[in-house]
Homo-oligomer: A and B are copies of this chain.
Amino acid sequence: MRSRSTIYDVAERAGVSAKTVSRVINNSSLVAPDTRRRVLAAVAELDFHPDSAAKGLRQRRRKSVGLVIPYGSDFVFQDPGMWAQTNGAHRALSERGYDLVLAVPQTRELVLHELSRLTKNRTVDGVILYAMEGVDTLIKEFDRLKIRYVSLSMCYSGQDYNFVDTDSSYVCHLATKYMIDQGARRVGLIREPEGFFHPAKATAEQGYRRAYREAGLSADESLILPGEYSVESGYERTCRFIKDVPGIDGILCMSDPMAMGALRALREHGLTPGVDIDFVSGDDFAASRAMWPGLTSIRTPLYEQGYHAGAMIVDYIQSGKKIPGKLLKGELIVRQSVRSRN
C-alpha cells in the first residue's frame, strides 16, 4: 500500500505551500477563496487526513478525553445506566471534536497510575470520573497531580466545581411527597451510602425530611437507612425494615440494584408492591419498566448527565478555569407500585 499522503503532497498538487494547506484545513480565515477551493480539491483527490499524532505533538493536545470506569466496584457492572451516561458524554465530546478513550483501572489503587499514564503521556487532555466509592480522596490527588477532571454523579464534600450530578434532594422530595399524598405515612428510605459525598444540601435524606415536614408529619429515625448501591444491601435493609418497623407502609429505594434486592425481600415476605406496600425505585432502568406491576420510579437524566460532563471537561480543558458544578433535576415516573388511597 502506498504511504498515505501528507500535507506536502496536498500542497504540491494545489500549487501552494504546506502552511496554506494547514490554514485551510484548520479553517483559518486568512485564505483567498480561490486558493481555498484548490486546496480542498487536492485534499479530496488525495484523500488527505491530517495525522493526529503529528498534530498533537505540535499543538500539545490530543483532542481526546478519558472516561474512567471503576471496574471492581461491584455495583457498577450491574448498572445499566452507565451506557446512557457514556453515550451522553461521547456525544458532547464528539460535537466538540474530541474522542473518548475508555480507562478501566482494575483496582482502586490503579486508578491514579492509569490516569497518570493517560494524562502525562498526553493520550488524553482530561478525564471524566464515573462515580466510585472513595472518589473524594482520589480527587484531591488529581488536584495535586494537575490532572484535569470532571466528576460524574459524585463530588467530595465541599467541592463546588467540576462535577455533574442529579439533585438527590429534589427527586427524593418529589417521590416522598407523592407517596405521602397518596396516603403513605411510614415510608422506609434506603438512601445513598455514607461514603458518597454530595454537594451541601442535596442529599436524599434532606428531601425526604422536607416532604415529611411540609406534610406536617414527623419522620421516624428508624425509617432511614443507608444502602451500598448493591442488590445485597437492598435486600438486607428491606428485611430490617420489615422486621424492625411496625406499620411500615412504603419503601423508597435510591437505586435500581438496591431495588432489585428490596423486591426480592418483599417477595419472600409475601408482600406485593402496589398491593400490600408502596414502593418507589430510585432509577428507571429496563428492569423497572419490564416488571409487573410496573414500578413507580425516579428517572435520573443519565444521558444529560453524561452530556454535561463531556461539555464541562472540554470547557475546562480549553479555558483552564474550573467550572461551577451542575445539578440536574430528575422526574417521577408514575406506574402501579404506589397504592392510591384518595
Which residues does A use to contact B, with CB under 8 Å? Answer: 1, 4, 47, 49-54, 56-57, 62, 64, 67, 71, 77-78, 80, 82-84, 86-87, 90-91, 94, 99-102, 104, 116-118, 120-123, 146, 260, 263-264, 267, 286-287, 290, 292
Using known A-B contacts A90-B102, A104-B90, determine if residue A286 contacts B54 with beta carbons closer than 8 Å: no
Chain B residues near A260 (CB-CB < 8 A): 286, 290
Chain B residues near A50 (CB-CB < 8 A): 121
Are A53 and B122 in contact, CB atoms less than 8 angstroms apart? yes
Chain B residues near A292 (CB-CB < 8 A): 267
Copies of this protein chain in the complex: 2
Chain B residues near A62 (CB-CB < 8 A): 52-53
- Ordered by A's residue number, 8 sampled pairs between the chains whose C-beta atoms are within 8 Å are A51-B121, A71-B87, A77-B84, A80-B80, A80-B286, A91-B104, A99-B123, A260-B286
Chain B residues near A287 (CB-CB < 8 A): 286-287, 290
Using known A-B contacts A101-B100, A102-B102, A122-B51, determine if residue A87 contacts B77 with beta carbons closer than 8 Å: yes
Chain B residues near A1 (CB-CB < 8 A): 146
Q: Name the contact of A83 in the complex, choosing from B82, B121, B122 (C-beta under 8 A).
A: B82
Residue with the highest number of chain B CB atoms closer than 10 Å, among A1, A49, A90, A118: A49
Cα–Cα distance between A52 and B124 once the two chains are bound (Å): 10
Chain B residue at minimum C-beta to C-beta distance from A3: B60
Chain B residues near A104 (CB-CB < 8 A): 87, 90-91, 94
Chain B residues near A146 (CB-CB < 8 A): 1
Chain B residue at minimum C-beta to C-beta distance from A289: B260
Chain B residues near A49 (CB-CB < 8 A): 116-117, 120-121
Cα–Cα distance between A50 and B120 once the two chains are bound (Å): 8
Residue with the highest number of chain B CB atoms closer than 10 Å, among A57, A91, A100: A57
Chain B residue at minimum C-beta to C-beta distance from A123: B52
Are A120 and B64 in contact, CB atoms less than 8 angstroms apart? no
Chain B residue at minimum C-beta to C-beta distance from A268: B292
Residue with the highest number of chain B CB atoms closer than 10 Å, among A52, A67, A117, A264: A52
Q: Name the contact of A100 in the complex, choosing from B102, B116, B121 (C-beta under 8 A).
A: B102
Chain B residues near A290 (CB-CB < 8 A): 260, 263-264, 287
Chain B residues near A54 (CB-CB < 8 A): 53, 57
Cα–Cα distance between A258 and B338 once the two chains are bound (Å): 28
- Chain B nearest CB from A43 CB (Å) reads 12
Cα–Cα distance between A37 and B169 once the two chains are bound (Å): 55
Chain B residues near A47 (CB-CB < 8 A): 120
Chain B residues near A263 (CB-CB < 8 A): 290
